[in-house]
Structure 1
Amino acid sequence: MSPDLQLRTATPDDLDWIHELRHRVYAEELGQHAPDPAGRLRDGLDGDNVYLVAARGADRMGFVSLTPPWVGRYGLDKYLTRDELPLLAEADLFEVRILTVEPRWRATAVAPLLMHAALRWIASRGGRRVVAMGRTELLAMYLAVGLRPIGRTVHSGAVTFEVLTADVAELTKNAMDRYGTTLERLRSTVDWRLDMAFAPRPDGCEHGGAFFTAIGTDFRSLERREQIVAADVLDAWFPPAPGVRAALTQDPGWAARTSPPTGAEGLIAEIAATRSLPAETLAVGAGSSDLIFRAFGQWLTPESRVLLMDPGYGEYAHVTERVIGCRVDRFRLRREDGWRIDPARLSAAVASGRYDLVVVVNPNNPTGRHAPAAELRAVIAGAPAGTRWWIDEAYLGYADLDESLADLAATDPRVVVCSSLSKMYALSGMRAAYLVAEPAVAAQLRRWTPPWPVSLPSQLAAVAALRDPAYYRECWQRTHTLRKQLAAKLAELDDSLLIEESVANFLSVTLPSAGPSAARLVAECRRHDVYLRDLSPLSPEYQGRTVRIAVKNTAGNARIVAACRAALKVLRPGPPAASPSAVPAVGSAR
């Protein structure tokens, strides 16, 4: 492969070649379609399909077609009804079609690279399952990459196809396990013009903190920290309470060298007093992720079935699907419903008792919506006795701490409430969190908690923070004002932008369908040292067009608006997509 091999999204100039190549291969060569006098073969989904093209200079080598679920129809609809193929009704299904390579490039790596690009594009848009029609004579190639027949055969002209499907996560793992070395070698030969990273993260979970790459993760210098606007993670814009800063600076040498209380007894006592909870209902950890991994690892197996909100915080999908290997279903939240959790629909979803665990982040990250406590209590009360509920209240302070379900969790063994001190108390760097559970459940988790689970500086900071509720209430109120101001300024940039506020310390911006992708906006803003979060990998509901922005102080928000203004000015004409170095996969730490 030549170093100038390019992979890109098709431009308008590519479409005539795509129609001409499609005619040569599928009409003249294979006899799938009748020849057309114009020598062009078009497709009914041409206006909705996404085409990825491999080219070298002006020489186009091949393409692959993708149909995302938000189009509402697939190529397979021409051959099979939804009753015959229920898979087509799934909300996160992407169809891969018409992988076509010019004859002289068929013995090269063009086809594998196009398949890899298609998989990366789908994963970057939150796709979890693919469906494809594979020519029977090429079935071995499709099986080798991890696609599997579902027992349906389709005939089109002189060509017979097998209907194939696979999970995106399984395809990705198979590709990296079997072809990772080859792909890494090919990476240096490809001019990757697509708006997602060439390869997934090694651990498979997209996390945030991309801004730290601009500061330097080796910590040799932190000078850049004041130049970066880290709006891709939901860290608080305000500093921790004065008492926290005093506790950390009183004797930092002693705090660094001294072992903390083994079981964080003082921290647990402070949480119990602040939240009016019995101490025996509490367990602490180094951030909510620590508690999630520990608890889920105890409760769940690959045979467990879990229900997650979608869109929802990505850590839960990572732990349940990729770490434990559970059977995971999604409860779809829809923009047209205001991202609201419909209690009647949720009650119906869990009524069968099939779920071992239901996870509700409330307020939800990334939608920013809060489900009233009374509604959740009613749903839980009517749920089967064997269904456990995990309620994540990491952002509840921004809504109303009185809405907590902690009192229910303290008495009902089916319910656990998890609360991070990171986002509400400006302690993200400290890594402190707690969960509330019925005493026997909490005791079981404490038995599986190692000694010294929270560092001494973290315990000192958390205790001091909990002792100053007035300071934080003022900060939370100020956050609402700043968020509204930021939303108003972003709305002024372009009438086609959809600005959705949350009840917490972030908002989202959705770009128009004819505009640039969220990934390209994120990449362009980074040129101005402003880091935003592309929500696309979390759910197909975002259609690759939505970014989440953390609220900052007045100066930080002004820089966010300025960066978005400059980025949109560059992106509106539709220039070539950004390079992969500018668009690494990003996520959200907790």
Structure 2
Amino acid sequence: MSRPLTLRSAGVDDMPWIHELRHRVYAQELGQHAPNAEGRLVDGLDGENVYLVAARDADRVGFVSVTPPWVGRYGLDKYLTRSELPLLDEADVFEVRLLTVEPDARSGAAGAALMYAALRWIASRGGRRVVAMGRSDLIGMYRAAGLRPVGRTVRSGAVDFEVLTADVTELSRYAAGRHAPALARLAGGVDWRLDVPFATGPDGCEHGGASFTAIGADFRTLDRRREVVTADVLDAWFPPAPGAHAVLREDAGWIARTSPPTGAEGVLAELAAVRGLPPETLAVGSGSSDLIFRAFGRWLTPAARVLLMDPGYGEYAHVTDRVIGCRVDRFRLRREEGWRIDPVRLSAVVADGSYDLVVVVNPNNPTGRHAPAAELAAVIAAAPSRTRWWIDEAYLGYVGAAESLASFAARDPRVVVCTSMSKTYALSGVRAAYLVAEPGTAAELRRWTPPWAMSLPAQLAAVAALRDPGYYAGRLRRTHELRAELAGELAAVDASVTVEQSVANFLTVTLPPGGPSAASLVAQCRLQGVYLRDLSPLSPAYEGRTVRIAVRDTAENARILDAYRAALSQLHAATSTLTATGAAQ
């Protein structure tokens, strides 16, 4: 019986073997480099590359390297200038190099498994494009994996290489489709030890968090919710207003069996009164995702060009890129600028009128930063008339109603403001949201809204919540206090970790370079029933090192702190042991 194939990240003790195998293959076998007396080939990127290793028990059989964009340079830079290969200047390009397998293992699954492992690792760090050098004599193998030549050939020693590239989403679809049987066999016979799931979700998007996997999606074990801290989703830590709670409990049987008002007329009337907006500028939906899918499905086609903030809420990339298939560009928010939206730079990017839609989540999730309404309104006012703007104000309640662009949207046909009632009204479970647009746009979306788009529980709760602003003002003030307390306690645990508060109900922690990954921290905390959100898949700007933590109540925040402290201790101990083992060898 064959031994199972193990896939894992390389440790320091693997590097001597990697250098030796590299020498045997690229110097002695292929003649790409001159042999040397040490019998080892090192690489200038060894200290920054990520190496993934395939092994059978203690026997290593192959490896592949990945160079992330945050390294700032690639192996291909030795052969081509950026003007010759401009895609290397893009911020989300990962280079795959040095796929190397021991000669006696080349007829097995190691090579394909390493290629798939590299793809999954890249996707888990927010990569959107892959670039690689593939031996010209093996070009058929790379084409079969979904890679395509860019028309550049480079020579290294006695070997010719083709420069190859592919979109990460397309590669993932290709693997899950054409190579599904091979992946199924691989899944059944591999010991997967990477800090990324073997396969992505059915639609390639992680909607919400993973905490319900611990509670139980079949709803037979809901008592488990008391054992789990759901800090991976941004649901409110507090209950909805007393009036909303009371109306839902008053006659649950009647509420469950009764059809709601067809067009949520009571909700629309209450929103108009509370927001001071004409009723004809409003449309409601079953959560903001309902409104996003409905509106974007009407407005956009695969020919449309869309601009998203990066990092940004993943649902927008999912809908525009994966569902509709638009051309999606990213406006890069920069860590060194505090993740702020630079209005001058944004104005310059949209000035040519090439975008059909620009999406701005404000305050932004996951960065937690808020763009002043006056700045954003000035950018929109100066933008070309053909460009539509979608402003997501799900977290605006934490900043204040004065910062809303709703009244602007009610007048300007280019602007739509979408507002979820999940985050600040504590109504995530009943699914309630609305948008504001000029009357013509709002009427079009209402026409494409199915009847009973909001359930009766959602309508009842939304109306009751809107009638109690005082309750929510107090809860939001307390959220800011809880966030500050949690941030201070987390920062005190480890000075090498950067803790950043947002303006809303969450904060982020960024682990130092060379330390444990965000995925490993999240995995360790889950062992203690504490669910946090690894932000790595949302953007390569996070470099696989940033975790988002939702603010909970005092007791649950204490559990978060304990789990975080224990997880860091465990991870640092594991790193120290690995380093010591490598040094001893």
- Establish whether residue 246 from structure 1 lines up as the match of residue 261 from structure 2: no
CA contact (8 A) 2:5 2:110 kept: no
Q: Secondary structure at the match of 2:87?
A: helix
Deviations 1:263-294 (A, max 9, x none): 00000111111100000001100000000000
**Structure 1 regions of 5+ residues with no counterpart?**
578-590
Identify the residue that residue 431 of structure 1 maps to in structure 2. Answer: 431
Q: Secondary structure at the match of 1:458?
A: helix
Identify the residue that residue 494 of structure 1 maps to in structure 2. Answer: 494
Q: Secondary structure at the match of 2:359?
A: strand
CA contact (8 A) 1:82 1:88 kept: yes
1:299 CA displacement: 0.2
Identify the residue that residue 550 of structure 1 maps to in structure 2. Answer: 550
Identify the residue that residue 193 of structure 1 maps to in structure 2. Answer: 193
One-letter amino acid matched to 2:117: A
One-letter amino acid matched to 1:423: K
CA contact (8 A) 1:267 1:463 kept: yes
Identify the residue that residue 233 of structure 1 maps to in structure 2. Answer: 233
1:181 CA displacement: 2.0
CA contact (8 A) 1:390 1:417 kept: yes
Q: Provide the C-alpha distance between the structure 1 equivalents of 2:54 and 2:211, rounded to a whole number of angstroms.
A: 31
Q: Secondary structure at the match of 1:574?
A: helix
Q: Secondary structure at the match of 2:27?
A: helix
Q: Provide the C-alpha distance between the structure 2 equivalents of 1:248 and 1:209, rounded to a whole number of angstroms.
A: 26
CA contact (8 A) 1:358 1:388 kept: yes
- Establish whether residue 513 from structure 1 lines up as the match of residue 513 from structure 2: yes
More relative contact order, 1 or 2 (CA 8 Å, 6+ apart):
1
The more displaced of 187-196 and 536-545 is 187-196
Identify the residue that residue 504 of structure 1 maps to in structure 2. Answer: 504
**Structure 2 regions of 5+ residues with no counterpart?**
578-585
Q: Provide the C-alpha distance between the structure 2 equivalents of 1:208 and 1:270, rounded to a whole number of angstroms.
A: 29
Identify the residue that residue 150 of structure 1 maps to in structure 2. Answer: 150
Q: Provide the C-alpha distance between the structure 1 equivalents of 2:448 and 2:498, rounded to a whole number of angstroms.
A: 45
1:209 CA displacement: 3.2
Identify the residue that residue 354 of structure 1 maps to in structure 2. Answer: 354
CA contact (8 A) 2:209 2:533 kept: no
Identify the residue that residue 470 of structure 1 maps to in structure 2. Answer: 470
- Establish whether residue 325 from structure 1 lines up as the match of residue 328 from structure 2: no
CA contact (8 A) 2:120 2:199 kept: yes
Q: Provide the C-alpha distance between the structure 2 equivalents of 1:82 and 1:573, rounded to a whole number of angstroms.
A: 41
Alignment of 1:96-495 (within 5 A): 96-495=96-495
Identify the residue that residue 95 of structure 1 maps to in structure 2. Answer: 95
One-letter amino acid matched to 1:89: D
CA contact (8 A) 1:193 1:576 kept: no
Q: Provide the C-alpha distance between the structure 2 equivalents of 1:115 and 1:94, rounded to a whole number of angstroms.
A: 13
TM-score, structure 2 normalization: 0.98
CA contact (8 A) 1:18 1:63 kept: yes
One-letter amino acid matched to 2:283: A
How many residue pairs match? The answer is 577
Identify the residue that residue 70 of structure 1 maps to in structure 2. Answer: 70
1:573 CA displacement: 2.4
CA contact (8 A) 1:3 1:188 kept: no
CA contact (8 A) 1:52 1:117 kept: yes
Alignment of 1:565-580 (within 5 A): 565-574=565-574
The more displaced of 4-13 and 450-459 is 4-13
1:3 CA displacement: 5.0
Identify the residue that residue 15 of structure 1 maps to in structure 2. Answer: 15
CA contact (8 A) 1:436 1:442 kept: yes
Deviations 1:355-376 (A, max 9, x none): 0000000000000000000000
Q: Provide the C-alpha distance between the structure 2 equivalents of 1:208 and 1:416, rounded to a whole number of angstroms.
A: 23
Q: Provide the C-alpha distance between the structure 1 equivalents of 2:575 and 2:494, rounded to a whole number of angstroms.
A: 19
Displaced runs of 4+ in structure 1, greater than 2 A? Answer: 1-4, 573-577
1:575 CA displacement: 5.6
Deviations 1:205-250 (A, max 9, x none): 1122311111111111311111111000000001100000111011
Q: Provide the C-alpha distance between the structure 1 equivalents of 2:374 and 2:163, rounded to a whole number of angstroms.
A: 46
Q: Provide the C-alpha distance between the structure 2 equivalents of 1:335 and 1:473, rounded to a whole number of angstroms.
A: 31
One-letter amino acid matched to 1:281: T
1:514 CA displacement: 1.9
Deviations 1:418-470 (A, max 9, x none): 00000110000010000000100001101110000000011000000000001
Q: Provide the C-alpha distance between the structure 2 equivalents of 1:215 and 1:59, rounded to a whole number of angstroms.
A: 39
One-letter amino acid matched to 2:245: R
Q: Provide the C-alpha distance between the structure 1 equivalents of 2:558 and 2:3, rounded to a whole number of angstroms.
A: 41
- Establish whether residue 560 from structure 1 lines up as the match of residue 557 from structure 2: no
1:497 CA displacement: 0.6
Q: Provide the C-alpha distance between the structure 2 equivalents of 1:524 and 1:180, rounded to a whole number of angstroms.
A: 30
1:576 CA displacement: 11
Identify the residue that residue 581 of structure 2 maps to in structure 1. Answer: none
